């Protein structure tokens, strides 16, 4: 998608993805305006100070729970990148009503606003936690995916179309294990929940590139899953602090040993492209033509972090740390 002279709204725009995406858009594209939508006025003020007054940034204080404010923020937009969410697993478990209002009802508000304002493209940023969820955060992201996908049904008489980018852990993002291990390394020992644990990993630049490429590709209803490497958590610890003691604490409530980004059931309506898997909707009532992109995946295929064909080594992660330490 050519983003020249386009108006882009990023919900959760002061988060790790949002702030880095803004920098990328300003460096690589010439948007008419980038609207940063978030609740935190301090983070917005700090972000504003990074740029000159002539940067095409518009700062919207608001909450995606507030449909009227979302409708106002999306007027005249060409693209919505929906990154806002409550993401901390323990916080969502302790505050389930809040998690539902933000992650589920917030997604509904985004869909309603995009349809009302005829926003052509909306892309949800989802997580591998949404697949076979074992915690509330994952369950709310699964609901958000369903709402975004079936939002296309409600948009039959609108130009609005909706799709999802589902990817794994972002190395170095706020709350991820990399900055946690880096802080623990300064204190002397690292805590590991289980030595068998594996995770999918993607860098922020890779995530941004993947999301923007999918905007150009989406037709409505797709879930895009990138082909990214896995890594054992013990190897992450080794990369960050090879000589520090490792303390095994046990798997935490709501945590999996391995993550999945594409299930056997989804594989029946998924196809493989060079750089990603494309999961098509099972009930595409808004479309009559068949989908032809890519090749069908093998029946029963499962894309999980422990059965991945690509692995990130400790040395490869160690080479990335100077960049991620600042993410």
- 73 lies in a domain? yes
> What does the pLDDT look like over 70-96, one tens digit per residue?
999 999 999 999 999 999 999 999 999
Cα separation, 286 vs 266, in Å, equals 20
> What does the pLDDT look like over 152-199, one tens digit per residue?
999 989 999 999 999 988 886 766 788 788 888 888 788 888 889 999
Active site residues: 129
- 183 lies in a domain? no
pTM, two decimal places: 0.93
* For residue 327, pLDDT beyond 50: no
> What does the pLDDT look like over 123-135, one tens digit per residue?
999 999 999 999 9
pLDDT at position 243 is 82
Nearest Cα residue to 164 out of 132, 125, 118: 125
> What does the pLDDT look like over 10-63, one tens digit per residue?
999 999 999 999 999 999 999 999 999 999 999 999 999 999 999 999 999 999
- 91 lies in a domain? yes
- 109 lies in a domain? yes
Number of domains, the chain: 1
35-39, 243-247, 265-269, 299-303: least confidently modelled range: 243-247
Q: How far apart are the first and last CA of the chain?
A: 26
- 45 lies in a domain? yes
Total residue count of the chain as it appears in this document? 327
> What does the pLDDT look like over 89-123, one tens digit per residue?
999 999 999 999 999 999 999 999 999 999 999 99
* For residue 314, pLDDT beyond 90: no
CATH code: domain of residue 68: 3.40.50.720
- 311 lies in a domain? no
Cα separation, 48 vs 26, in Å, equals 14
- 52 lies in a domain? yes
- 270 lies in a domain? yes
Per-residue confidence band for 322, with pLDDT thresholds at 50, 70 and 90? low
Q: Could you tell me the residue range of the domain that residue 87 belongs to?
A: 7-168+203-227+261-302
pLDDT at position 175 is 66
> What does the pLDDT look like over 206-263, one tens digit per residue?
999 999 999 999 999 999 999 999 999 888 888 888 888 888 888 888 889 999 999 9
Q: Residue 269 is encoded by which pair of tokens?
A: 């309506």
């Amino acid at each position: 998608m050519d983003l020249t002279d386009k108006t882009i709204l990023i919900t959760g725009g002061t988060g790790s993805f949002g702030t880095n995406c803004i920098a990328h858009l300003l460096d690589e594209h010439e948007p008419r305006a980038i609207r940063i939508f978030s609740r935190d006025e301090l983070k917005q003020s700090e972000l504003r100070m990074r740029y000159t007054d002539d940067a095409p940034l518009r700062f919207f204080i608001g909450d995606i729970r507030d449909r009227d404010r979302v409708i106002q923020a999306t007027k005249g937009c060409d693209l919505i990148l929906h990154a806002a969410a409550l993401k901390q697993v323990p916080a969502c478990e302790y505050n389930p009503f809040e998690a539902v209002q933000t992650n589920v009802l917030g997604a509904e508000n985004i869909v309603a606003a995009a349809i009302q304002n005829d926003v052509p493209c909306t892309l949800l940023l989802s997580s591998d936690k949404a697949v076979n969820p074992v915690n509330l955060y994952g369950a709310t992201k699964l609901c958000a995916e369903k709402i975004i996908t079936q939002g296309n049904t409600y948009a039959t008489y609108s130009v609005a179309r909706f799709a999802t980018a589902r990817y794994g852990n972002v190395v170095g993002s706020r709350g991820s294990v990399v900055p946690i291990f880096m802080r623990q390394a300064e204190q002397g020992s690292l805590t590991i929940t289980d030595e068998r644990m594996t995770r999918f990993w993607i860098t922020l630049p890779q995530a941004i590139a993947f999301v923007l490429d999918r905007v150009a590709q989406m037709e409505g209803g797709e879930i895009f899953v990138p082909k990214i490497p896995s890594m054992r958590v013990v190897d992450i610890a080794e990369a960050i602090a090879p000589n520090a003691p490792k303390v095994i604490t046990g798997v935490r409530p709501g945590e999996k040993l391995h993550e999945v980004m594409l299930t056997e059931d989804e594989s029946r309506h998924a196809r493989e492209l060079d750089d990603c898997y494309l999961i098509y909707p099972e009930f595409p009532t808004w479309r009559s033509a068949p989908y032809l992109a890519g090749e069908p995946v093998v029946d029963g295929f499962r894309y999980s972090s422990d059965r991945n064909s690509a692995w990130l080594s400790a040395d490869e992660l160690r080479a990335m740390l100077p960049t991620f330490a600042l993410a």
